[in-house]
Amino acid sequence: MKIVLHNPAHNGDILFGSKIIDIIVKSNPNQEFIISPSCSTVLFEHLKSENVVIQMNDYQWVYETNIFPDKDNYLFKQHDILWSISQGSEALGEDNLVPVREDGKLYINIWQIMCFNRNNNMNLVGRIEVINNLLLELKDKIGIELFFNAQHYTELIPEIPQLDISYINSYLNNRLFDKRIFFFNLKGCSGSECFLPNFNNDFIKQLLNENPQSLVIVPDTCTIKHARLISLMDDLNIKKEASGKSLVNYANICNLCDEVYFKNNGGSLFTFNVVNIQNKKVKYYFLNGHDEFYHIMKNVYGLNIVN
């Protein structure tokens, strides 16, 4: 039986569930998996093998509209279901004469694992117990035995590719300032953006005024033009990609900076990965000011975050 590990959510949610997929796949090397996220496939490229394929969801997000275009899609109908088995379908053989019964697939909804009991989907505490209970249920109800080789929730902290950004480092090194400040001027696509429309530009101006000797770096295009401001899209042509490569680039670039300011949107949350967390030279500032999120960031992930 092929197992589809799918996630109907957007970038941040896919990131926070990515290590769960990694561990499930590596713990069950003899199973056949289809990894099916709605975006950010770059997080799973390392898992490709004869038994593992990546197949982006048919109902992909339409960028900046928060709309699923195909509501009749099977995976869309599984949006709120933890697991299910497709009934299979009748198909003709190669000679178009002999009916062939296709085996049903087991669908496991990673997003539902993250949202179980309405727990904050960023919070990894108790997540292993939820997964192990799911695997016991699958063994009891459909007789399939899967393993999850993780003992502590910190093993679920995401890992992202370390892409080659040497050309970006060289570009930044040619601009000598006392420090580098990164601000995620991205807009949230899934309802988590709670700032006024002009917030990003106002905050960029504030950073430039309060740090007259510093270089300010933003990922998105920007109408503000300043000698100490770099837009990765405008100046380095780092465009947004559904694969998530651009978001991984942003997180990698943050490790070249001294300070990082971010909001509660999926693009900025890519900094919640093992490498960025271990880099204590970078100070992170959370602009939403939500006490629950701050606690999770500091005490669950161990990010070097300043209140």
**Residue 98 confidence class, pLDDT cut points 50, 70, 90:** very low
Average pLDDT for 272-281: 96
* 90 three-class SS: strand
Q: Using one digit for the tens of pLDDT, what is the confidence trace for 9-41?
A: 888 889 999 999 999 999 999 999 999 988 899
Q: What is the pLDDT at residue 198?
A: 86
Report whether pLDDT(108) > 80: yes
For the chain, give the percent of residues with pLDDT over 70: 84
Q: Domains for the chain: give ranges and CATH numbers.
A: 3-156 (no CATH), 166-306 (3.40.50)
Q: Using one digit for the tens of pLDDT, what is the confidence trace for 119-137?
A: 677 889 999 999 999 999 9
| 90/217: higher pLDDT | 217
The one-letter amino acid code at 168 reads I
What are the Cα distances from residue 230, in Å, to 134, 139, 237, 263, 293? 46, 53, 11, 19, 29
Average pLDDT for 236-254: 92
H helix or E strand, kind and range, residue 4: strand 3-7
**Residue 155 confidence class, pLDDT cut points 50, 70, 90:** very high
What are the Cα distances from residue 47, in Å, to 55, 155, 161? 12, 17, 12
Q: What is the pLDDT at residue 292?
A: 82
Average pLDDT for 51-55: 93
Q: What is the pLDDT at residue 75?
A: 66
d(CA 307, CA 288): 11
Report whether pLDDT(271) > 70: yes
Q: What is the pLDDT at residue 272?
A: 94
d(CA 20, CA 114): 9
| 159/264: higher pLDDT | 159
Q: Are 120 and 292 in contact (CB under 8 A)?
A: yes
Report whether pLDDT(72) > 70: no
Report whether pLDDT(226) > 70: yes
Least confident stretch, 102-116, 129-143, 162-176, 277-291: 102-116
- For the chain, the average pLDDT equals 86
Least confident stretch, 103-112, 139-148, 233-242: 103-112
Q: What is the pLDDT at residue 102?
A: 46
Q: Cα 3 to the chain's mean position, in Å? A: 21
Q: What is the pLDDT at residue 88?
A: 56
Average pLDDT for 296-304: 93
Q: What is the pLDDT at residue 93?
A: 41
- Round the CA-based radius of gyration of the chain to a whole number and report it: 21
Q: What is the pLDDT at residue 61?
A: 53
